[in-house]
Copies of this chain bind each other. A is one copy, B any other.
Amino acid sequence: MSEADLPPSSDPASDWESLLNTIAHRPKRASERKQDRSKRTEQQILSAALRVFARDGISRSRIADIAAEAGISTSTLYEYYKSKEDLAYDLPRNHLADFFEEYRHAVADKSGARERLTLYLTMTADFAREHAEWARVFYLEIWPSVFVSETELRHSVDDFARVVLFLLRQGARDGDWPAGADQFQTAAILLGAVNQVIITWLLYRRPRNLTKASIGIVERMLEMISSERPAG
């Protein structure tokens, strides 16, 4: 990625590239394992943990079950993660990085703030739908948890809002919506609504078609924001 090699710039287009670059490449857990065998084991643990956490909930899940599901012994699991909590909070990182990478790819040919923002928010919902087990663990157990703020995961969670704020500012500069509005407030509205729809879908499978629903709600919100009268 050439933009990573360039010096910091205040050119808006470059800022966007570098923001995406940063969030898509937050250092994952430094897996210092030397052998391929270990990398496979690590994957098996993560995948088993995801299944078990999604099925039983984190607090009801037992380390022994996860180890069994991964086909290893309990003590081997402890070679990789020092506790259940450690495992639970590491789990979402890879998926989040994948999401940002997918978004970065999909947004490459879009330059308008509104287009970019619509894509971002609808892809968020769609990603939850496509990775429902992950979403169950992330949205219903980890994201709102007090302890996110104590972990590395916090950076990735913060990134989520950072992208929305960036695009709101871009849109304000470009005249897509009034510049006077409190963009933190606008971001809270957009993110809150999308989270609300995702959580409702995860808990009750309503709305039936999450993709369609999220497109509907996002377009409606952006339409409202665009046609707000400038702050007075």
Q: Interface of A with B (CB < 8 Å)?
A: 57-59, 85, 136, 139-141, 143-149, 181-182, 184-185, 188-189, 191-197, 199-200, 203-204, 207, 213, 216-217, 220-221, 223-225, 227-228
Residue from B185, B195, B216, B223 in contact with A216 in the complex, judged by beta carbons closer than 8 Å: B185
Ordered nearest first, which 6 A-B pairs have the shortest CB separation? A192-B196, A192-B192, A192-B193, A224-B224, A189-B193, A188-B196
Q: For residue A185, which residues in chain B have a CB less than 8 angstroms away from its CB?
A: 213, 216-217, 220
User: With A148-B203, A184-B207, A185-B217 given, can you name 18 additional A-B contacts, CB distance below 8 Å?
Assistant: A57-B145, A57-B146, A57-B147, A139-B144, A141-B145, A144-B144, A149-B203, A181-B220, A185-B220, A188-B217, A189-B189, A189-B217, A191-B196, A193-B193, A195-B196, A223-B228, A224-B228, A227-B227
Cα separation A188 to B193 with both chains bound (whole Å) = 6
Q: For residue A216, which residues in chain B have a CB less than 8 angstroms away from its CB?
A: 182, 185
Residue of B nearest to A181 (CB): B220
Residue from B58, B182, B195, B224 in contact with A192 in the complex, judged by beta carbons closer than 8 Å: B195
